[in-house]
């Protein structure tokens, strides 16, 4: 009866196992789960029963195994590989071929190496763990468990120490085991570490780590990078491409002193020197020198020298020197002088000189000189200097010097100098100087100077000077020099052909008579210290004649205060005297006037004074006699070549002023 029950149990177990692997016929033969109970059975009988359950046939030579050896052992839910390992005590080797498992004698290798294999399971559930990193910390040989938790790797035999393997998997406790000196399979349980269950944080180094994990999806390198948090150090490494070299698949977990990459390499860090034929990629920090034929990419900080044929890219801060054929890219603060054929870019501050063939772009503060062939751009404050072939642009304040071939633009205040071939624009206060070929604009006040070939504009107060063809200031507390000066409130002196001033300016309308013209009208505009005069005169008795005798002219003057109601006037005017519409020849009357003005009220005054007159006329033209009723005594008269007559005399003027 007991025998019947035993046979029934064996049959039921066999059917369950067959159903299990039949549901997944792609399961490798060696990984199929079986349950066997062997009671004093020969090796041949055991292999036959094992083959029946696993759905395979064993091929072997009786010369390499003792088929008559008796086996008494029970195997419950074991893989075919585990059964064979326990039956033969690791003394044979086996491989799959179609539906066969071929058993051969264990080959003794001439090389001084050792092959280690085994299974890794969850300690709590006993389930096989896939994608577990197993490696030798000394030789860096590594393996990854397959879907059945199995691994196999070959390591050099240590001379005087036992082999130790590190076993790592994300969210599990790191394990270091000593490997017994026998040929059997290892069975390694791993315990979940609840404190380590987390997502990959978004640190600088993990940006590159995540990039490579995405690029190398489902590869041994990506799995190792995810599993292993331990940092390892090596003096030297050589690789052909990432993960193919002396650091093997653990390159992403190792910091090297010296690194040589034939094509390219990947590592956790570099301490002294790295050279790559095409590229170097470092997940963490770089110290020393890094030279790449095309690109250097660093996920952490760089402290030293970077030289790349095309691009230097760093996600951390950079100290030292960067030289790139195209681009220096710094995601953090750039403390390193940068030389780039195309662009220097800093997402945060730039604290060292940057020289670029095209542009320097800083999204933080610029605290060092920037020189670019095309433009410089700073998102925050800029200090020291910006020099660009086309333009400089600062969205915050500028302290230092901007030199742009075309334009300098600062959206907030400028303390220093702006020199632009075309224009300079400051959106806030200017304390310094603007020199522009065409235009200078300050949206707020100025303490300093604006010099341009055409227009200067200050929408706030001007404490300093404006020199240009046209000058405008909302309030003047300095000097303007130009053809046209405009100010809303005058507290300084505009000097030019025409000055238009608002509050505090000098604006008068004068009606006067002198010895030549009995009726003169003059308008003075500017300030008392310096004003412009627009004048016209007429001889009334000629108004009804065929040719009216009249004049028009321009002059400059000053009116210093003598007392509360009395002002001194010093004017210099020049007028063209015209008969009818004859303008052809020179017929000019120049006057130097010295007189006084007595203010009867705020808007009314009387004037009187003496004039020194100089008359220049071309006698080839028949102009009417200058003096009609009264001819003054000439103090000088002379005719020059080309029939130019010059006469000088003393005269006078009286009149009334309004406003």
**CA–CA separation, 168 and 253 (whole Å):** 12
Residue 563 lies in a domain: yes
Please calculate the CA angle 592-588-547 and round it to the nearest 5 degrees. 125
Q: Are residues 91 and 155 in the same domain?
A: no
Among the ranges given (9-23, 148-162, 437-451, 457-471), the one the predictor scored with the smallest mean pLDDT: 9-23
Last residue of a domain, one of 148, 173, 196: 196
Domain that holds residue 604: 506-658
Q: Is residue 182 very low, low, confident or very high in pLDDT (cuts 50, 70, 90)? A: low
Residue 515 lies in a domain: yes
Specify the long-range contacts of residues 252-257, CB closer than 8 Å, at least 24 apart.
252/209, 252/212, 252/221, 252/224, 252/225, 252/283, 253/224, 253/225, 253/228, 254/140, 255/231, 255/284, 257/233
Residue 37 lies in a domain: yes
Cα 99 to Cα 28, 34, 65, 142: the distances in Å are 10, 16, 21, 30
Q: Are residues 127 and 17 in the same domain?
A: no
Last residue of a domain, one of 331, 365, 380: 380
The predicted pLDDT at position 5 comes to 47
Whole-model pTM?
A: 0.75
Q: Are residues 145 and 93 in the same domain?
A: no
Q: Is residue 351 very low, low, confident or very high in pLDDT (cuts 50, 70, 90)? A: very high
Q: Are residues 66 and 99 in the same domain?
A: yes
Mean pLDDT of 94-104: 91
pLDDT tens, position by position, 197-227: 654 444 445 555 555 445 543 477 778 878 8
Mean pLDDT of 42-55: 92
Please tell me the total count of domains within the chain: 4
Residue 59 lies in a domain: yes
Q: Are residues 628 and 531 in the same domain?
A: yes
* Cβ atoms of 657 and 597 closer than 8 Å: yes
**CA–CA separation, 564 and 600 (whole Å):** 11
Q: pLDDT at residue 157 above 80?
A: no
């Amino acid at each position: 009866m007991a025998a019947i029950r035993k046979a029934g149990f064996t049959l039921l177990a066999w059917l369950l196992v067959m159903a299990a692997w039949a549901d997944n016929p792609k399961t490798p033969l060696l990984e199929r789960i079986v349950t066997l109970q062997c009671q004093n059975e020969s090796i041949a009988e055991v292999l036959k029963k094992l083959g029946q359950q696993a759905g395979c046939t064993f091929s072997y030579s009786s010369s390499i195994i003792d088929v008559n050896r008796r086996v008494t052992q029970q195997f419950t839910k074991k893989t075919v590989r585990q059964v064979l390992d326990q039956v033969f005590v690791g003394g044979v080797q086996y491989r799959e071929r179609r539906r066969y498992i071929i058993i051969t004698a264990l080959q003794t290798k001439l090389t001084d190496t050792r092959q280690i294999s085994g299974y890794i399971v969850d300690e709590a559930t006993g389930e096989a763990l896939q994608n577990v990193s197993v490696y030798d910390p000394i030789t860096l040989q590594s393996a990854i468990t397959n879907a059945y938790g199995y691994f196999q790797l070959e390591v050099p035999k240590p001379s005087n120490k036992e082999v130790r393997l590190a076993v790592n998997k994300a969210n599990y406790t790191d394990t270091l085991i000593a490997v017994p000196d026998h040929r059997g399979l290892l069975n390694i349980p791993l315990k979940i570490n609840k404190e380590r269950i987390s997502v990959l944080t978004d640190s600088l180094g993990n940006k590159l780590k995540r990039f490579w994990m995405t690029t190398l999806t489902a590869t041994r390198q990506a799995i190792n990078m995810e599993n292993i948090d331990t940092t390892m150090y090596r003096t030297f490494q050589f690789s052909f491409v990432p993960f193919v070299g002396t650091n093997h698949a653990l390159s992403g977990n190792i910091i090297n002193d010296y690194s040589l990459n034939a094509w390219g390499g990947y590592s956790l860090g570099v301490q002294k020197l790295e050279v790559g034929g095409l590229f170097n990629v470092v997940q963490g920090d770089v110290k020393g020198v890094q030279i790449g034929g095309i690109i250097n990419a660093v996920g952490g900080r760089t402290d030293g020298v970077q030289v790349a044929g095309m691009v230097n890219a760093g996600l951390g801060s950079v100290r030292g020197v960067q030289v790139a054929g195209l681009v220096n890219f710094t995601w953090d603060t750039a403390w390193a002088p940068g030389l780039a054929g195309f662009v220097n870019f800093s997402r945060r501050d730039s604290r060292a000189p940057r020289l670029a063939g095209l542009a320097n772009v800083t999204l933080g503060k610029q605290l060092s000189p920037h020189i670019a062939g095309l433009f410089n751009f700073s998102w925050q404050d800029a200090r020291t200097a910006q020099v660009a072939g086309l333009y400089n642009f600062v969205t915050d304040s500028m302290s230092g010097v901007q030199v742009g071939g075309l334009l300098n633009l600062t959206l907030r205040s400028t303390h220093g100098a702006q020199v632009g071939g075309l224009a300079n624009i400051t959106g806030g206060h200017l304390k310094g100087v603007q020199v522009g070929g065409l235009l200078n604009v300050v949206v707020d006040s100025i303490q300093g100077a604006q010099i341009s070939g055409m227009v200067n504009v200050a929408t706030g107060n001007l404490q300093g000077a404006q020199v240009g063809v046209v000058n405008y200031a909302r309030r003047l507390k300095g000097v303007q020099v130009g053809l046209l000066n405009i100010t809303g409130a005058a507290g300084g002196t505009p000097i030019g052909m025409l000055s238009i001033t608002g509050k505090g300016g000098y604006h008068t309308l004068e009606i006067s008579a002198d010895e030549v013209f009995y009726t003169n009208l003059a308008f003075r505009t500017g300030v008392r210290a310096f004003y412009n005069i627009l004048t016209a005169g007429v001889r009334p008795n000629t108004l009804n004649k065929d040719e009216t005798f009249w004049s028009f002219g321009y002059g400059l003057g000053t009116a210093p205060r003598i007392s509360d109601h009395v002002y001194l006037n010093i004017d210099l005017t020049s007028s063209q005297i015209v008969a009818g519409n004859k303008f052809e020849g020179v017929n000019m009357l120049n006057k130097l006037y010295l007189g006084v003005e007595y203010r009867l009220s705020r808007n009314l005054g009387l004037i009187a004074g003496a004039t020194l007159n100089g008359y220049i006329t071309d006698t080839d033209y028949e102009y009417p006699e200058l003096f009609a009723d009264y001819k003054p005594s000439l103090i000088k008269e002379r005719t020059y070549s080309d029939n130019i007559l010059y006469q000088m005399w003393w005269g006078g003027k009286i009149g009334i002023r309004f406003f």
